[in-house]
Amino acid sequence: MHRYQILIEYVGTNFIGWQIQSKGKSIQKLIQTKLSKLLKEKILLIGSGRTDSGVHAIEQSAHFECKKEIQNIDKFLKSVNHFVNDTSVSIINIKKRNINFHARFSAKQRIYKYIIFNRLSRPSLEKGRGWHIIKELDVTLMKEGAKKLLGTNDFSAFRSSSCNAKSPIRTMKSIKIKSIKGRIEIQFKSQSFLQQQVRSMVGCLKYLAEKKWDLKKFDYVFKSKKRILCAPPAPAEGLFLEKVIY
């Protein structure tokens, strides 16, 4: 058997998410079906992790196995992209990998990015690619709140009730926040994330930045481990899986 890693870019707006489900259009199913047709065998595509409905990817990572070696990678890449041409999905790269490589379990870090448009007017060029917030946000307060999330902690307060992870403990390696002309980018780096963790953290940082909460309340909610106290999660359209590091 031959194992290959593929890197995928997609707009998640019209998908139910990465993972195949009983109903609806998923990115995993779309690519898996096209690969099976091209390679003339049943292909199982394994992603680095799930992205929820509406979440985008700048560089999702996945792998698959096939019986025959792909002789011309560039030609194969063009063929796959031809089949997904009108779906808002692009295969950026295909790499031959060692049989021990696993898109999910070999990952050392995952990077997610959340985009906020903090301005009066709605975005047009980047419609559906960020959270539009009119009320002015205090980015300095946001950065102070982000510091409290760093390190190894119990992130139960930011965990979806449908999350099936065995443990709520995660290690947040870094959170970087930058703001340029009303565009706020928040980058989160960790080995793994709980379901809806990033969007829930952004929702709480937003409450802090618009001064609905102070730092004491933000810290209290985080340490309470109670999902019910969490601010409403940020919408999916602002979230991007930026990169998976191996």
Asked if residues 42 and 36 have their Cβ atoms less than 8 Å apart, the reply is: yes
Instruction: Give dist(CA 196, CA 193) in Å, integer.
Output: 8
For 139, the 3-state DSSP assignment is: helix
Cα distance between residue 15 and residue 52, in whole Å: 9
Please give the structure tokens belonging to residue 219: 């810290």
Query: Active site residue: 52, 74, 138, 219, which one?
Result: 52
Beta bridge partners of 162: none
**155 in Cβ contact with 148 (< 8 Å):** no
d(C-alpha 90, C-alpha 161), whole Å:
32
52 belongs to the catalytic site: yes
Token pair belonging to 95? 């790499």
Q: What are the backbone dihedrals phi and psi of residue 217, each rounded to the nearest 5 degrees, phi first? A: -70, -40
State which amino acid sits at residue 51.
T
End-to-end CA distance of the chain: 22
Active site residues: 52
